[in-house]
Structure 1
Amino acid sequence: MNNALQAVTAILGRIRVGATVAFMLVSGMMAIATPVTAQNFNFSNVSVEGNQRIETATILTYLGFGQGEAVTAGALNDAAQRIRATGLFESVDVVPQGRTLVIRVAEYPTVNRISFEGNNRVRDAELGAVVQSQPRRVYSPNQAEADTAAITQVYADQGRINATVSPRIIQRSDNRVDLVFEVFEGGLTEVERISFVGNRSYGENRLRRVLETKQAGLLRAVIGRDTFIADRVAFDQQVLTDFYQSRGYVDFQVQNVDVSLTRERDAYLITFNVQEGQQFEFGNISVTSEVTNADPAIFENALRLRTGVTYSPELIERDIARLELLAIREGLNFVRVDPRVTRNDRTLTLDVEFALVNGPRIFVERIDIEGNNTTLDRVVRSRFDVVEGDPFNPRQIRESAERIRALGFFGNADVDAREGSSPDQVVIDVDVTEAPTGSLSFGGNFSTDNGFSLLAKFSQRNFLGRGQALSFNLQAGENSNIFSFSFTEPRLLGRDLSFGLDASYQETDSDAALYDTTTAAISPRFGFPVSENGRLVLYYAYDFTDIKDVTSTSNFITDDEAKGAVATHALGYSYSFDTRRTGLNPNAGVLFRFGQEFGVGDASYIETTAEVTAQTLVLAEEVTLRATIEGGYLAFENDDSRISDRYFLSSRTMRGFDAGGVGPRDLATDEALGGNAFAVARLEAEFPLGLPEEYGISGGLFLDYGSVWDVGNGASAANVLYNDFTPRTIAGVSIFWDTPIGPLRFNYTEPLDVQANDQIKNFDVTISTDF
């Protein structure tokens, strides 16, 4: 009986389970077959809660639907996202409550003030300039994070990559906050080493001098270029490429730049991996023409390139400019010069064919200048060789851009061309950023010739935005007082004609001197080019000189005092020829100067001066060789010059002597008399000393040979020593040091051939200057 009941129960259980499963399957099939209907809302009222500053109407504009419209749940979510995207609210909740939509918001606070803490190296004003968060505006966490990154970048640009910045808010009343950027500046991360891999022709010291980035060294506090800046390194790659290509390495490449940090993260290591390739020279140079009426022979005579010269793209550009200018002079507009280069790998030469072709007929519609708040438009326009209506030449525009940058008036100058009102018209846009052009300085000056003096100087290179140069110089010393004034207008009447005015007044008063002087001079001048490398200056000069308080017993000097004050008028000229920047060899150059002055008045004279200097770089451009020959001759009427007129060789002209330590001397008193003639030859070599390049210290050797002679007035060996040409020879070593106050030169001299009465000076310090 029990077994029968159990069997019946089991059967019934299976029947119920099967029915349940069947019901579920049927229900699932119905669900699949019947689509789900999305829930819709319809609100007759919208309530906004929590807003204090933001108007309710403003918030409702972001909903995207109006009252009474059917709205899906997705549309409600989109409306909430739009309100959050305004950045005005810390939280947004959209809650349907029956026929009412409730929007609950929590507003971000208002920024009360912004401050910086912990910044010592960078001023608040500099940091505030990069921060976009502003007082009385809504606080935005995203903007605060962006400001944090901007401040961090300011420190990174100064070499402090370990600097950290933390934004912090301080709650104030009325839902306001103070935004504080807490700065930990960290240590300075400098460029510890710059090295090169793959360089065979030039040493690391020479290549480092090309780069804008410098290694940190003794002068790290003032170098300002020993921190790692990515843009600067990118610029260094370009200047390195230009350096090699201007020396014939046409295949040169910077394959990559490896920048790494030391383990302590306190210094950068920069390695330039380069591939030099072979050095090429110019091969055959020719001119061909595709332009009617253009005679190639005429243009070929204008070329300066010659076979065998080391290849340089810059030299090609210069000859292209010459040929295109010649075409304009020949009345051939829209002529372009297309340089076609043929490579000869076997001979390592590049043949250049200058092809004269017809360019597009495009005209300059106008020149627009922006950003020049101080500099007048005409100063910028004067750098252009074209005006509105002239044929458009892209090369001329590039050259004009370089001339604008060379003015030194602008921190940045961009020149671009765009299409004008028609396809055959272009508009040239000039966008400049003004830079400081004036200076006012107070300081001291020391010269081994003149002793110590205080000085004040004002200079302005862009006076009143007119491109004019103006300077005043006041110097008060133990031996002399000097005032000088100089003014230059570089573009008189809008032409390449300069006008200048120089004036000076000087009094000497020294207990150690044999006499005192008062001198005054004024000289207007005009200068203009006479050739590609030549320039001529014409001037008038008025000079007043008085010798007084003579303590010397020399008859020569007392006779000069007895003549009283002397005033002269003079006309003169000075011609200079300079190939240092425009010659065929980038490593060599020549400077030649020649001038004469014709004086009348209380004294009549003709003064002739000349100088020629040649310089070249040798031994992979590590050593600079320089040779100078300089001389002058004064021809006075009746041979009647005074001691204030004659030449005295300073330490700049011939090293190794005290002021007045070489030349004719009074036989009776042994006092220096100066001479009407001088001639000096100087040979110099400058070379690295193996010290880190960033120290700015190099060495040199020099040899000076020359003399000053001829007192005039019928002087003879009976009363004057060394009145004839009596040469002296001085050898020495130099230490050059680029310091924060300027380049200094320390000379240590050794006389090789001097006279018994000469006054020797074995050491002096001068300002180092390039020739």
Structure 2
Amino acid sequence: MKDRKLGKGALALISALAVATPVGFVATSASAFVFNNVRIEGNQRIEPETILSYLNLPRGSNVSAGQLNDAMQRLQNSGLFETVEVAPQGGTLVVRVAEYPTINSVVFEGNRRVKDEQASEIVQSRANRVFSPAQAEADAAALSQVYASQGRLAARVDPRVIRRPGNRVDLVFEVREGKATEIERIGFVGNRAFSDRRLRNVLDSKQAGLLRQFIRRDTFAPERIAVDEKLLTDFYRANGYADFKVQTIAPEVAQQRDAFYITFQVQEGPRFKFGNVTTISEIPGVDATEFQQQNRVRRGEIYNPTIIDTSIRRMEALALRKGLDFVSIEPRITRNMRDQTLDLTFALTRGQRVFVERIDIEGNTTTLDEVIRRQFSTVEGDPFNPREIRNAAERLRALGYFADVQAESRAGTTGEQVIVDVNVEEQPTGSLNFGVSYGVNAGVGFNMSLSEKNFLGRGQQVDLSFSTGKGNQQSGLTFIEPYLFGRDLKGRFQTWYNTTDRLNSDYNTRSIGIQTGLEFPVSENGRLELRYKLSKDTLYDVDGIHVDDEIDELVGSSPILVAEQGGYFTSALGYTYTYDSRINGLDPLTSYRLRFSQDFAGLGGDVDSITSSLYAGIESNAWRKEVTFLAEFEAGAVHMLNDQNSRFLDRFSGNGKIRGFDSNGYGPRDRNAPNEDALGGNYFWALRTEMQFPIGLPEEYGVKGGLFADAGSVWGLDNKIGQPGPYGDGANGEIVDDRMHVRAAVGASLFWTTPIGPLRFNFSKAVVKEDYDEEQNFDLTISTKF
């Protein structure tokens, strides 16, 4: 390191010399002089002809002192020479130059956040190239900009040179990274309808809190400001403030450059509701009545541009179904300031006759063109619909294949044609994840997954996963083709191998199988999947009742489980219908989800049964989206055919269906057996309700609270004959109680979003239970990827 210390300051010297006054040129008089010869000294790599071209002085003619000075400046500004000297000697012009040295190596010191490989790609100075002070300074500025984009505005990058023999130098970039420049405070001026805390929740930028070292370090990124402005505008307008605008955004940096203070000055304006909503047609022969039925805007609702846009999309889709081309749906709004309402008129107008000449796609090096084109419902020769082009661009962004998607139109070869240019910027779509999970019941678990959602650029998804926890292991492979046969037909193939090893029980289980399915849309929000499943499920190592010599007591499982142990094949056809209101987003505050499925086993295999399940869920936001309500209902039934009895692995266990109870903690149980094993049931239902809300802490802490109340039951057995009681004293077995006993629990939750993953603490109390049920009053879950 001694050589490097000796070389510090050399760059400053070189830069000073580069702009110095010419050495050796002394004008003794203002008169011109004439030279016929030029002698060049000191050049090693630069050809004399190159130097003469920069001089650009005539021989044999009068040359003034000003011309000589200009010539020398041209040489100096060429960036080829460290020093330049021009001196006339009689009839000879002597030019002495010292060339810049060659870079021996480029070294980075003090950098930890930006690795050497990344830094080498940023700088333009390279080994074996001519050293340029200007380029070195530009490289240092580029590196500083990279640190600034990471929120480290106090970072400094200083280029230093170390002289080496043979007119060579080592170029060293000395980096002082400094601390990340955090957003110390985000404030608002002019907001009356929403608190600062509520508005901070909307922004992408977050302010750091008192526990920043443990929770998160929110850094300032200038590019987020524009995003924050749009998010703030969208939020206000979705809540009825049609005239809202951000007047100014003032980011101020602290004197030490270690913190930012951002102030948004906003103008809210009045809050509007929809008034009269009508649909008119200005196209001869087109009746507006059918189009009015597609309207989803209701009088008295809070103004929301999303609902207007949804209605326009529905009307445009109807026009296409009716074969009406070049129909434009124009929303016309009339403000009524007296009662703060907006009268809305959807006007059907005749748009310009413009056709799509072609769609040009650029930027995709991996993704096939067909994967991009299938997101466009418009093809070459179709009428041009700007809204559909924008919607297709949004669908492309939602795929997750591209970092950016731009779709723009330009004039075609004729006045009635346009060309749609689609420019995409691809991003990595594969991931290798290692994770850790924890649950009080399941213990610490590890998982690994390899996922590729754009396999071979075909838009196919491949997932390979493996996870292990306390007493259980799961592994699986999934392959999904989202557009089978070039249609909106999702093909799915899955295979799995799962085992449990004495997981809160006295038996082991194993399941191995495959499943294939086809999923397709049946309505705007509904989809239907048809599938086939083949699996082998095994219950083994069931302990029969016997005397444990070590403790001199009877141990063992119910004879019901003993009779059901062994492996059996299940071959089943099934279907699932799903409905999700979030697909069209008609209501931004409330979403509904519905799922109904049935599997019919008996197409070969050892099991003849019908298994049905139902799920219904609703999520709603209230109190200006600060409080979230969730409610879920599930139910299921197993109906055996051909006089078969259900087996343990066919039945529902109730695991995870209601909180407050342990795994296998409720449901039918053979209490006469020493182990009192849970047996599961042919039927179950569960109702889960939850409310999530802020608890007063700054939102940057990522902490909020919740209250929940769950209820449900598992019941019903085909074989109810358990262990003769007590423990073998009787000719007849005891009848297991398999009635539908309601269980219920209430509790509170604490949600904490941390750098290691989301934490959830559940504190619960069973308020309705049977005396043999097993409770779980506390549960902690954590899941993270690294």
Deviation string, structure 1 residues 145-176 (Cα, Å, up to 9, x no partner): 22222222222222322222222222222322
Report how far residue 526 of structure 1 moved.
0.9
Q: Which residue number in structure 1 is paired with residue 512 of structure 2?
A: 520
Does residue 1:378 correspond to 2:370, yes or no? yes
Q: Which of the residues 671, 680, 683 maps onto 1:674?
A: 680
The partner residue of 1:619 within 618, 623, 631 is 623
Please say if 1:729 is aligned against 2:734.
Answer: no
What is the distance in 2 between the residues matched to 1:376 and 1:139?
A: 43
Farther off after superposition, 716-725 or 309-318: 716-725
Larger Rg, first or second structure (1 or 2): 1
Contact 1:630 1:681 in 2 (8 A): yes
What is the letter of the counterpart of residue 480 of structure 2? T
**Distance in 1 of aligned mates of 2:45 and 2:284:** 77
- 1:90 aligned onto 2:90: no
Name the CA shift for 1:288/1:72 in 2 (closer, same or farther; >3 Å): farther
Q: Which amino acid aligns with 1:689?
A: I
Q: Does 1:640 align with 2:642?
A: no
Return the letter of the residue paired with 1:592. L
* Matching of residue 703 in structure 1 with residue 709 in structure 2: yes
TM-score, with length taken from structure 1: 0.89
Task: Describe how 1:585-604 pairs up with structure 2 within 5 A.
Answer: 585-600=587-602, 601=604, 602-604=606-608
Aligned to 1:755: 770
- Which of 125, 138, 156 is 2:130 aligned to? 138
Measure, in 2, the Cα distance between the counterparts of 1:318 and 1:580: 12
User: Does the 8 A contact of 1:471 with 1:485 survive in 2?
Assistant: yes
Report the 3-state secondary structure (helix = DSSP H, G, I; strand = E; otherwise coil) of the residue aligned with 2:392.
Answer: helix
Which protein, 1 or 2, shows the higher relative CO under an 8 Å CA cutoff with sep ≥ 6?
2
Identity of aligned residues (%): 49
Deviation of the 1:702 alpha carbon: 0.3
| Change in 2 beyond 3 A, CA 1:553/1:65 | closer
The equivalent residue for 2:391 is: 399
> Are the equivalent residues in 1 in contact too, given 2:557–2:677 (CA < 8 A)?
no
For the residues of structure 1 that align with 2:234 and 2:354, how far apart are their CA atoms?
A: 31
Q: Secondary structure at the match of 1:673?
A: coil
Q: Contact (CA 8 Å) 1:219, 1:694: kept in 2 or not?
A: no
Distance 1:715 1:616 in 2: 46
Partner of 1:740: 755
Q: CA-to-partner distance for each residue in 1:375-395, whole Å, 9 max, x for gaps?
A: 222222222222223222221
Hey, what's the Cα distance between the residues in 1 that align with 2:503 and 2:260?
A: 57
CA 1:219–1:546 in structure 2 vs 1: closer, same or farther (change >3 Å)?
Answer: farther
Distance 1:178 1:713 in 2: 84
Match of 1:121 in 2: 113
2:575 aligned partner, one-letter code: Y
Which of 59, 62, 71 is the aligned partner of 2:54? Answer: 62
Q: Which residue of 1 aligns with 2:727?
A: none
Shift of 1:62: 2.9
Offset, 1:677: 1.1
**Change in 2 beyond 3 A, CA 1:511/1:409:** closer
Q: Secondary structure at the match of 1:580?
A: helix
| Distance in 1 separating the partners of 2:383 and 2:35 | 70
**Does 2:245 correspond to 1:253?**
yes
Distance in 1 separating the partners of 2:292 and 2:772: 60
Amino acid at match of 2:703: I
Partners in 2 of 1:263 and 1:81 — Cα distance? 40
1:109 aligns with 2:101: yes
Per the alignment, do residues 422 and 169 of structure 1 end up closer, same or farther by CA in structure 2, a change over 3 Å counting?
Answer: farther
Q: 1: CA distance between counterparts of 2:101 and 2:164?
A: 9
Alignment of 1:327-366 (within 5 A): 327-366=319-358
Verify the 8 A CA contact 2:558 2:722 in the aligned structure 1: no
Give distance in 1, aligned partners of 2:259 and 2:96. Answer: 53
CA distance in 1: counterparts of 2:211 and 2:428, whole angstroms: 24
The counterpart of 1:204, out of the listed 196, 200, 210, is 196
Deviation at 1:265, TM superposition (A): 3.8
SS of residue paired to 2:247:
strand
Q: 1:717-755 CA distances to partner (integer Å, 9 max, x unpaired)?
A: 994555222111100011112233432321111121111
Q: Residues 288-330 of structure 1, C-alpha deviation per residue, up to 9 Å, x if partnerless?
A: 2333443222222222222222222222222222222222222
Letter in 2 for 1:503: T
Q: Equivalent of 2:779, from 755, 764, 768?
A: 764
Q: Residues 109 and 351 of structure 1: is their aligned pair in 2 closer, same or farther, counting only changes over 3 Å?
A: same
For 1:710, the aligned partner's letter is G
SS state at 2:584 partner = coil
Q: Is the contact made by 1:664 and 1:720 (CA closer than 8 Å) also made in structure 2?
A: no
Give the Cα separation in 2 of the matches to 1:579 and 1:74. Answer: 80
- Which residue number in structure 1 is paired with residue 632 of structure 2? 628
SS of residue matched to 1:129: helix
Matched, 1:279 2:265: no
Question: Is the 1:736–1:768 Cα contact (8 Å) retained in structure 2?
Answer: no
Q: Residue 664 of structure 1 aligns with which residue?
A: 668
Q: What secondary structure sits across from 1:751 in the alignment?
A: strand
Letter in 2 for 1:248: G
Q: Does the 8 Å contact 1:598/1:606 carry over to 2?
A: yes
State how far apart, in whole Å, the 2-side matches of 1:396 and 1:599 are: 44
**CA 1:421–1:86: 2 relative to 1, 3 Å:** farther
For the 8 Å contact 1:547–1:560, the answer to whether it is kept is yes
- Number of the residue aligned with 1:27: none
Alpha-carbon separation, structure 1, partners of 2:521 and 2:583: 15
CA positional deviation for 1:487: 1.0
The 3-state SS of whatever aligns with 2:183 is: strand
- State the shift of 1:73 in Å: 5.3
The alignment partner of 2:424 has SS state of strand
- How far off is 1:488 after superposition? 0.7
How many angstroms apart in 2 are the aligned matches of 1:280 and 1:639?
63
State whether residues 203 and 620 of structure 1, in contact with CA within 8 Å, keep that contact through their aligned partners in structure 2.
Answer: no
Q: 3-state DSSP class of the match of 1:624?
A: strand
* Residues 71 and 324 of structure 1: CA distance in aligned 2, closer, same or farther (over 3 Å): farther
Structure 1 residues 218 and 531, CA gap change in structure 2 (3 angstroms): farther
Contact 1:409 1:434 in 2 (8 A): yes
1:431 Cα deviation (Å)? 2.6
Instruction: Note the 1:278-317 alignment, pairs <5 A.
Output: 278-317=270-309
Q: TM-score, normalised by structure 2?
A: 0.87
The amino acid of 1:728's aligned partner reads R
The verdict on how the C-alpha distance between 1:134 and 1:221 changes in structure 2, with shifts beyond 3 A counting, is farther
Cα distance in structure 2, aligned partners of 1:141 and 1:474: 54
Q: Say if 1:416 and 1:511 are closer, same or farther in 2 by CA, change over 3 A.
A: closer
Q: Using the TM superposition, name which of 106-115 and 510-519 deviates more.
A: 510-519
**Could you tell me which amino acid in structure 2 is paired with residue 577 of structure 1?**
Y
Structure 1 counterpart of 2:655, from 638, 650, 656: 650
Q: Deviations over 1:439-464 (max 9, x none)?
A: 22344443444444443322211212
1:234 alignment partner in structure 2: 226
Q: Give the match for residue 546 of structure 1.
A: 538
- What is the alpha-carbon distance in structure 2 between the residues aligned to residue 125 and residue 735 of structure 1? 43
Which residue identity is paired with 1:574? T
Shift of 1:143: 2.0
1:686 CA displacement: 0.6
In structure 2, what residue type is equivalent to 1:659? S
Structure 1 482/231 Cα, relative in aligned 2: closer, same or farther at 3 Å? closer
Supply the AA of the counterpart residue of 1:694.
E
Aligned residues: 729
